[in-house]
Amino acid sequence: MLQQLLYIFLIIFISSSNSNRLSLIGNNWTITNNINHTAQGTIPGTIHTILFAAKQIPEPYLDYNDLDLRYLIYNNWTFTKKFDLFSDFLASNQITIHLEQIDTVAAITINNCLIGRTNSMFISYTFHVANSCLKFDNEISVDFESPVLYALKQANTYNDTVPPDCPPSVVRGECYVQFIRKEPSSFGWGFGPTFAPIGITGDIYLEAVNTTEIVIQLESVNVASYNVKTKSWQVDVLLSSNNDQFESKIKFILENTTWSYETLVIFNHNLSITVSISDELISRWWPNGYGNQSLYNFVVFNQEKVIDSRLIGFRTVQLVQNKYRTGINGTSFYFVINSQSIFIKGSNWIPSDSFQERVSDEKYERLLRSAQLANMNMIRVWGGGIYERNSFYELADRLGIMLWHDFMFACSLYPVNDEFLKNVHDEVIYQVKRLQSHPSIVLWSGNNENEAVIAENWYNVSQEKMNKTKDDYRKLYIHTVMNAIQQVDQGNNRPFVSSSPSNGLETIAENYIARDHEDSLYGDVHFYGLSLS
């Protein structure tokens, strides 16, 4: 209390537009490998789709083009664009550049000032741009390093072997994909070709603000838990600001209901607010086939001005794992949504194109609606792929398709040095905050089949190294991934399993690596029932 009196309260001035954005997406980017390709192209885009549009290479999917075009991903590439800035923009004292998604290893330069470096396609980046680096006419240059050679370099400088080195030879893939935070299957997989795309795959924009002005952003909204006694929902909201120690009036409304909430708060950069919403005021979100997919727009205001909003839904999730009666080994493993047990019908989702810029919202809709029409109610977002765009999750919300969501690690051991773990931590925090408002996501899973990798010793790790291999596994999926999820996704409405598949509670009892991990009496299994003979 006393300390609060010592805060300096800034007077908040909210102008009609308190930030100024310049998007750099669109055409007029030039890409070159500085050897034998230079082309004009459109962002979001990657080298293959840009060169194909410029008629310098054939359609990558045809014939043996996955092999014939392989040289492209051994090259470094430079993406450049010229852009003008006007005096208003330049007069602002806080200028940043935002990259929603960049694939993957790059250095960003503006007018010869190095602005920042990236090495994960699973994190969005924001870099400060010094005013002295900018003028009226500017050029941005994004210098990509070959992802294949980068992964090789990381593997060579790592002080241990992390098998497998390469995918099976039949895949004709590239090696050491576990050393780069990039779509695992892009280095080759059973179902798909090796393209390891290079490019700018999301929005990219410059933003100018004045530090004397306060900018508040909505970081995340999470329907964290339901209190049976008070019949109310606990909703966690995280806000951030470019300023600290100021007082402000924050208001939330839930559109199309009578619920609203208003409070006077003191920001210290970040602010987390927990509110309670009575169950009587809303109707619940149900999986396909069990009821309506009621969704509500949760809107955040600062001093009566809309900051942002999220579409949310209200449902409880329990993953029930009860022991059977004495004398029978194993536990149940089923989902209960809103106190109703659900019969799960679903399938597995892999990225629907090697090049994400070719996946339209219409394609997402056609695929997910097909799943809905086939009476599916759950899809697993597979850990060898990517975290999809926001529109994918909103469609799943609207269609009642529950998502079992893996983190993007698959069929491999992984490095666990501090730099890698820090990168993964940032990825999990970013992705969970981005996605947690979606009622469709009913479970997080640490990885795809990496418990099996160890339990069944797929890669012939020696017995002497097995203990370290298990410790490394727990370092990554328990101490890093699970801990990061728990930091930002609180409450009890979204269970976590350490791997797909696992033995559930039995896997935990065996310190996260179950000896008999394919035991069909516990947890989930990956049923490979197809006959290959």
Is 17 or 531 the residue whose CB approaches ligand NAG more closely?
Answer: 17
Shortest Å, Cβ 345 to ligand NAG: 20
Is 161 or 292 the residue whose CB approaches ligand NAG more closely?
Answer: 292
The DSSP element (H or E) to which 471 belongs, if any, is helix 463-474
Q: In sequence order, which residues have a C-beta less than 8 Å from that of residue 29 and are 6 or more positions away?
A: 40, 41, 42, 43, 45, 50, 79, 80, 81, 200
Q: Which residues does residue 361 pair with via DSSP β-bridges, in sequence order?
A: none
On whether the CB atoms of residues 36 and 168 are closer than 8 A, the answer is: no
**Residue 418 in tokens:** 């501090």
Shortest Å, Cβ 82 to ligand NAG: 7
Is 367 or 519 the residue whose CB approaches ligand NAG more closely?
Answer: 519
Question: Given candidates 9, 13, 64, 71, which one binds ligand NAG under the rule CB under 6 A?
Answer: 71
Shortest Å, Cβ 348 to ligand NAG: 29
Question: Given candidates 124, 352, 417, 490, which one binds ligand NAG under the rule CB under 6 A?
Answer: 417
Is 313 or 346 the residue whose CB approaches ligand NAG more closely?
Answer: 313
Which of 294, 312, 305 minimizes the C-alpha distance to 237? 312
Is 57 or 403 the residue whose CB approaches ligand NAG more closely?
Answer: 57
Is 23 or 56 the residue whose CB approaches ligand NAG more closely?
Answer: 56
3-state secondary structure of 407: coil
On whether the CB atoms of residues 140 and 83 are closer than 8 A, the answer is: yes
Q: How big is the chain, counted in residues?
A: 533
Shortest Å, Cβ 136 to ligand NAG: 15
If one counts every other C-beta atom within 10 angstroms of the C-beta of residue 529, the result is: 4
On whether the CB atoms of residues 309 and 415 are closer than 8 A, the answer is: no
Is 121 or 209 the residue whose CB approaches ligand NAG more closely?
Answer: 209
Residue 260 binds ligand NAG (CB under 6 A): no
Shortest Å, Cβ 377 to ligand NAG: 15
Is 317 or 429 the residue whose CB approaches ligand NAG more closely?
Answer: 429
Is 79 or 382 the residue whose CB approaches ligand NAG more closely?
Answer: 79
Residues 266-285 that bind ligand NAG (CB under 6 A): 269-270, 283
Residue 304 binds ligand NAG (CB under 6 A): no
Residue 460 binds ligand NAG (CB under 6 A): yes
Question: Given candidates 132, 157, 258, 467, which one binds ligand NAG under the rule CB under 6 A?
Answer: 467
Question: Given candidates 139, 255, 280, 456, which one binds ligand NAG under the rule CB under 6 A?
Answer: 255
On whether the CB atoms of residues 355 and 46 are closer than 8 A, the answer is: yes
Residue 360 binds ligand NAG (CB under 6 A): no
Residue 161 binds ligand NAG (CB under 6 A): no
**Residue 202 in tokens:** 């999301």
Shortest Å, Cβ 385 to ligand NAG: 25
Which of 243, 177, 239, 234 minimizes the C-alpha distance to 210? 243
Is 211 or 347 the residue whose CB approaches ligand NAG more closely?
Answer: 211
Question: Given candidates 88, 137, 304, 362, which one binds ligand NAG under the rule CB under 6 A?
Answer: 88
Running DSSP on this structure, what letter comes out for residue 314?
-
Q: Which stretch binds ligand NAG (CB under 6 A): 1-9, 202-210, 377-385, 404-412?
A: 202-210
Residue 464 binds ligand NAG (CB under 6 A): yes
Question: Given candidates 108, 177, 209, 402, which one binds ligand NAG under the rule CB under 6 A?
Answer: 209
In this structure, the strands spanning 402-406 and 441-445 are parallel
Residue 30 binds ligand NAG (CB under 6 A): no
Q: Which stretch binds ligand NAG (CB under 6 A): 86-94, 115-123, 189-197, 343-351?
A: 86-94
Residue whose structure tokens are 């941005």 = 140
Question: Given candidates 210, 257, 331, 348, which one binds ligand NAG under the rule CB under 6 A?
Answer: 210
Residues touching ligand NAG: how many (CB under 6 A)? 35
Q: In sequence order, which residues have a C-beta less than 8 Å from that of residue 275 and are 6 or more positions away?
A: 234, 235, 237, 252, 261
> Using N-to-C axis directions, what is the helix angle for 390-399 and 361-373, rounded to 10°?
30
Q: In what order do the strands lie in the sheet with 317-320?
A: 317-320, 334-337, 340-341
User: In whole angstroms, what is the distance from residue 416 CA to residue 160 CA?
Assistant: 10
Which of 179, 202, 123, 198 minimizes the C-alpha distance to 409? 179
On whether the CB atoms of residues 37 and 56 are closer than 8 A, the answer is: yes
Q: Which stretch binds ligand NAG (CB under 6 A): 246-254, 288-296, 400-408, 505-513?
A: 288-296
Q: Where are the beta strands (DSSP E) in 130-215?
A: 137-144, 199-200, 204-209
Question: Given candidates 263, 278, 329, 340, which one binds ligand NAG under the rule CB under 6 A?
Answer: 329
If one counts every other C-beta atom within 10 angstroms of the C-beta of residue 76, the result is: 17
Alpha-helical runs (H) found in 475-510: 483-488, 505-509
Shortest Å, Cβ 255 to ligand NAG: 6
Residue whose structure tokens are 């399993």 = 497
**Residue 485 in tokens:** 């999820």
429-458 footprint of ligand NAG as x/- string (CB under 6 A): ------------------------------
Residue 257 binds ligand NAG (CB under 6 A): no
Q: Which residues does residue 445 pair with via DSSP β-bridges, in sequence order?
A: 406, 497
Footprint of ligand NAG on this chain (CB under 6 A)? 19-20, 27-28, 35-36, 56, 71, 76, 88, 91-92, 145, 159, 208-210, 240, 255-256, 269-270, 283, 291-292, 295-297, 329, 417, 460, 462-464, 467
